[in-house]
Structure 1
Amino acid sequence: ADLESNSGRKSSFLLIDLRAEKFFSFGPADISLFLRVFNLLNTHFVNGFVFTTTGSPDYSQFPQANRSTLLDPSRFHEPRRIEIGIRLSAK
């Protein structure tokens, strides 16, 4: 049976990013320290397709499924990423 437009379904997910920044002033310069966390909860979710037989992105009931497709990391959202930095600017 053909699927109607916009009828595909995937599991819901929660994606939270965090950013914090602290500013300091030292004479002729301004300094800020920052922290950015992407995917704070390290949520695992799929960017690509899921198999209709299992509803899973990484498990197929058919042994002939291409393993390289199943293990392609671009099919999944990136894991948690943390960035810490210093920004210096002149007044």
Structure 2
Amino acid sequence: MILTGCGHAGIVNLVRHAQKVTGIQRLYGVLGGLHLRSGPIVDRTIDESAAEAPQVVVPAHCTSWAAQQALATRLPDAFLPNSVGSTFLLGAGI
């Protein structure tokens, strides 16, 4: 699981760096600010993220409404909406 506050470096770059540092290639999910607004970078980021097949995607504060909608459309089984006060229980068997 990748947790990010405001992913200025880009979520794809953050995932790749975590994979390199940990040696773990499987991405369970991402939760936090994806720093996505609009334009071609949104589609490119979603394409590369979808290739990782995350089970959970929870975009937060610095992810535009349009980017959140695109994530929900492209990754409907993984997408979870987020708002102030949201609680997420993650783990095996939960």
TM-score by length of 1: 0.21
TM-score by length of 2: 0.21
The higher relative CO (CA closer than 8 Å, separation ≥ 6) is in 1
Higher helix share: 2
Higher strand share: 1
